Amino acid sequence: MAMIQIREALRQAMQEEMRRDESIFLMGEEVAHYNGAYKVSQGMLEEFGEDRIVDTPISENGFAGLGVGAAMAGMRPIIEFMTWNFSLVAFDQVVNSASKIYQMSGGQYSIPIVFRGPNGLAENLGSQHSTSVDSLYAHFPGLKVVTYATAYDAKGLLKAAIRDPNPVVFLESELTYGIKGEVPDEEYIIPLGKADIKREGTDVTLITWGKQLFNVEKAAGDLAAQGINAEIVDLRSLRPLDHETVFNSVVKTGRAVVIHEGFLFAGVGAEICARIQEACFDILQAPVLRVTNRDVPQPYATNMEQLVVPSPDRIVQAVRTVMER
């Protein structure tokens, strides 16, 4: 076991896979000579050269489409968006091209591609650099949507994403690239579509994903001090969604709160709530609540910004509400 930063875990995943498979290349803005806007790809140009670590102009639609075309022709591109906010000018390529070509071609062309980059709140960047795109991409069959909180999950999931024969939307976070975690020395892969119980508990199920796990863990600690034993389900994949793990936990606890960045309205949490009530209606002791971004574009000022996103206090408050029913 080594303690490494999440950016290193992601880098190791790409390096190991690129050494194994020559058809993999990394392309995006500043990934090569600049060593990555957030230094995820540091040193990779030196190891793999300019044909495989490729700087692009600021042209997301263009290079996302280039990646899809290369995938059709048998390569396995990793396309980095400097942030997922910028993917919205490439939405057509991710949705209309990547997610649909396998279907439109009657199964002739698969699209083994990873689109990756940081997503969601990155602190004081204003509304155009703070979007959570989770629900936008999770909406579409044909895409897989994957995210992580820990270095261990980051590496294992990214390796699985690279090996997947389908387009994978891989959601990272600027705020957590520097967080360290234990990663095994030997190779491992975490299959996509498997949630992970990050904390076992008996009283309430807290369902989350991505960096909100850290707020949820803080809240669970506070709740424990109040005598409430929360179970934490880290989804890791939004599509495919491991509803079995969610249902099993809710059957055990009878109560659930979903915590995520992004908006309440038509967010991924709404989907999870709907599935829980369909499958666990008779067991539920209280309505399933959601703690999400408040329904406004992200403001810049720190106090306003922190008001918008989920916080341990808001999570504790929501849990107390479902416990008091």
Partner 1 sequence: MAESLSLPEKSSLNPVDRDSLSHLYREMLLIRRVEELAAKAYTQRKILGFCHLYIGQESVAVGAAASTSDDYWMTAYREHGQAMAKGMSARTMMAELFGRQTGSSKGQGGSMHLFDKENKFMGGYGIVGGHVPLATGVAWAAKQRKENRVCVCFFGDGAAHQGAFFEALCLAQLFKLPVVFICENNFYAMGTPLHRQSAVTDLSLRALGVGMVSEQFEGFDVEVVRERVGAAADFARAGNGPVLLEIVTYRHRGHSMSDPAKYRPDGELDEKKKSDPLAITKARLTEDFGLSEADLAAIHESVEVEAQDAWDFAHDSPEPDTSTLYDYTYAPQEG
Q: Which residues are catalytic?
A: 60, 129
Count of residues binding partner 1 (CB under 8 A)? 45
Q: Which stretch binds partner 1 (CB under 8 A): 1-9, 74-82, 253-261, 280-288?
A: 74-82
When asked if residue 109 is in the footprint of partner 1 (CB under 8 A), the reply is yes
**DSSP-assigned letters across all residues of 97-157:** IITTHHHHTTTS-----EEEEE-S--SSS-GGG----HHHHHTSTT-EEEE-SSHHHHHHH
Structure tokens at 188: 């491992």
Instruction: Give the one residue of 35, 42, 75, 285 binding partner 1; rule: CB under 8 A.
Output: 75
Distance CA 250, CA 207 (A): 10
Site residues for partner 1, 84-103, by CB under 8 A, read 89, 92-93, 96-97, 101-103
Residue placing its CB nearer to partner 1 in the complex, 38 or 63: 63
Cβ neighbours, 10 Å, residue 122: 18
CA distance 107 to 161: 20
Looking only at the bridges linking them, the beta strands covering 53-55 and 114-118 are: unpaired
* Closest CB 95 distance from partner 1, rounded Å: 10
Interface with partner 1 by CB under 8 A: which range of 52-60, 194-202, 219-227, 250-258?
A: 52-60
In this structure, how many other beta carbons lie within 10 angstroms of the beta carbon of residue 62? 14
Is 107 a residue that touches partner 1 (CB under 8 A)? yes
Q: Please report how close the Cβ of residue 262 comes to partner 1 at its closest, in angstroms.
A: 24
What kind and span of H or E run contains 20?
helix 6-20
Instruction: Considering only the stretches 62-70, 116-124, 172-180, 181-189, report the one whose residues sit in contact with partner 1 under the rule CB under 8 A.
Output: 62-70
Report if residue 64 touches partner 1, rule: CB under 8 A: yes
In the complex with partner 1, which residue's Cβ is closer, 75 or 270? 75
Which of 33, 73, 282, 295: binder of partner 1 (CB under 8 A)? 73
Give the shortest CB-76-to-partner 1 separation in angstroms.
Answer: 10
Contact present, 292 and 262 (Cβ < 8 Å): yes
Specify whether the backbone of 24 is left (phi greater than 0), alpha (psi in -120 to 50) or beta. beta
Sites for partner 1 among residues 144-183 (CB under 8 A): 144, 163-166
CA distance 153 to 201: 21
Report the interface residues with partner 1, using CB under 8 A. 25, 51, 56-57, 59, 61-75, 77, 89, 92-93, 96-97, 101-112, 141-142, 144, 163-166
